[in-house]
């Protein structure tokens, strides 16, 4: 795996080793930054790299920035151009990840969103699997709740909000699980995973928590909903999900840019289905891996060639 060589920082592409922030940086102190995670897929057959849903990720970055009152100096088109230029310069021949980060770059003490300088950087990094997608993983319900819209809005991808994710993921790992499922802030319903959305299959229908269940409105979630309906003719319902509904699901899976489509075979020590990847999950996963590599013509507008 190669280390990245470049970063877009303070308005230009420079060596990543020179891209450094001041220790007084406001967003480093207070977590007041918004970011994205975008994947670029290496298609070994065509020997080309494709960035998946790049423009949609930058649209979400703009939405997150609006919530946090961060002004992004570069239009979406320019952010896409910078991303492609960075990836071209790196010349990866493997899957990689793009991290745009818009932040309060001022140096004054005090957490606030106004009266501080703001900037944006982007870097890329080679990235393989975040979760094992070849088997069904084992998860627990976290004892930690998800954030809520009137604390740190989960709809925005805020850097400081990932304390919530880190605390959940760490608890799960230290207790011998692969991942955590997190309940809404009122403890009533399933929200999502520590950094991925969740779907359940019941009676051949896909069910996923709605946007008002404290979730990040995932682009992979959107991709799964679209391809399940349009390509697999599967009914999809967005509705609140109870914790124990998961225990009696036919199939369960996570999805996200990092997680991709990852089967869950065990929740809170209850086996889901026969404990291995379910049939519908398998069909969605194989479709997903094809379309991100620009192997399905109909979805080629989602794939930008590097």
Catalytically annotated residues: 157
Decide if residue 95 touches ligand PMP (CB under 6 A): no
Q: Tell me the C-alpha distance between 75 and 59, whole Å.
A: 10
Give whichever of 105 and 159 is closer to ligand PMP, judged by the CB atom: 159
Decide if residue 126 touches ligand PMP (CB under 6 A): no
Of 192, 273, 285, 304, which one interacts with ligand PMP (CB under 6 A)?
192
Q: Residue 245: enclosing H or E segment and its boundaries? A: helix 243-247
Sign of the dihedral defined by the CA atoms of residues 99, 68, 160, 264, in that order:
negative
Q: Which of 278, 252, 268 is nearest to 176 (CA)?
A: 268
- Rounded least distance, CB 167 to ligand PMP, Å: 13
Q: How many helices (H) and strands (E) does the chain have?
A: 7, 17
Question: What are the start-end ranges of the E strands in the chain?
Answer: 6-9, 12-15, 33-35, 38-43, 48-52, 96-104, 118-126, 137-141, 179-183, 190-193, 197-202, 205-208, 235-238, 251-256, 260-267, 270-271, 303-305
- Rounded least distance, CB 215 to ligand PMP, Å: 6
Decide if residue 106 touches ligand PMP (CB under 6 A): no
The count of residues interacting with ligand PMP (CB under 6 A) is 14
Of 40, 159, 197, 294, which one interacts with ligand PMP (CB under 6 A)?
197
Decide if residue 218 touches ligand PMP (CB under 6 A): yes
Give whichever of 82 and 161 is closer to ligand PMP, judged by the CB atom: 161
Cα-only R_g, the chain: 19
Count of residues making up the chain: 306
List the x/- string, 152-191, binding to ligand PMP by CB under 6 A: -------------x--------------------------
Q: Tell me the C-alpha distance between 284 and 224, whole Å.
A: 7
List the x/- string, 9-48, binding to ligand PMP by CB under 6 A: ----------------------------x-----------
Q: Tell me the C-alpha distance between 105 and 71, whole Å.
A: 12
Decide if residue 216 touches ligand PMP (CB under 6 A): yes
Give whichever of 26 and 165 is closer to ligand PMP, judged by the CB atom: 165
Of 104, 257, 260, 304, which one interacts with ligand PMP (CB under 6 A)?
257
- Rounded least distance, CB 220 to ligand PMP, Å: 3
53 φ/ψ sector (left φ>0, alpha ψ -120 to 50, else beta): left
Q: Which residues bind ligand PMP (CB under 6 A)?
A: 37, 165, 192, 195-197, 216, 218-221, 256-258
């Amino acid at each position: 795996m190669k280390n990245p060589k470049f970063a877009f920082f303070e308005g230009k592409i420079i060596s990543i080793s020179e891209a450094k922030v001041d220790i007084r940086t406001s967003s480093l102190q207070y977590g007041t930054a918004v970011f994205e995670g975008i994947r670029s897929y290496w298609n070994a057959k065509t020997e080309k790299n494709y960035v998946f849903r790049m423009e949609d990720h930058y649209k979400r970055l703009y939405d997150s920035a609006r919530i946090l009152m961060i002004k992004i100096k570069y239009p979406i088109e320019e952010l896409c151009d910078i991303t492609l230029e960075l990836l071209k310069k790196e010349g990866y021949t493997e899957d990689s990840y793009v991290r745009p980060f818009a932040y309060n770059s001022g140096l004054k003490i005090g957490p606030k969103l106004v009266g501080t300088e703001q900037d944006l950087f982007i870097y890329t990094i080679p990235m393989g699997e975040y979760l094992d997608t070849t088997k069904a993983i084992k998860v627990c319900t976290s004892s930690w709740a998800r954030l809520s819209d009137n604390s740190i809005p989960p709809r925005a991808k805020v850097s400081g909000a990932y304390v919530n994710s880190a605390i959940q993921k760490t608890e799960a790992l230290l207790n011998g699980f692969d991942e955590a499922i997190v309940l809404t802030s009122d403890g009533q319903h399933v929200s999502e995973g520590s950094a991925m959305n969740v779907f359940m299959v019941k009676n051949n229908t896909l069910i996923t928590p709605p946007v008002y269940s404290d979730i990040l409105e995932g682009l992979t979630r959107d991709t799964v909903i679209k391809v399940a309906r349009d390509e697999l003719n599967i009914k999809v319902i967005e509705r609140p999900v109870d914790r124990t509904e998961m225990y009696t699901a036919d199939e369960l899976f996570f999805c996200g840019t990092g997680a991709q489509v990852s089967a869950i075979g065990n929740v809170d020590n209850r086996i889901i289905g026969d404990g291995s990847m379910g049939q519908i999950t398998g069909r969605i996963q194989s479709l997903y891996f094809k379309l991100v590599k620009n192997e399905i013509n109909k979805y080629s507008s989602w794939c930008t060639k590097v």
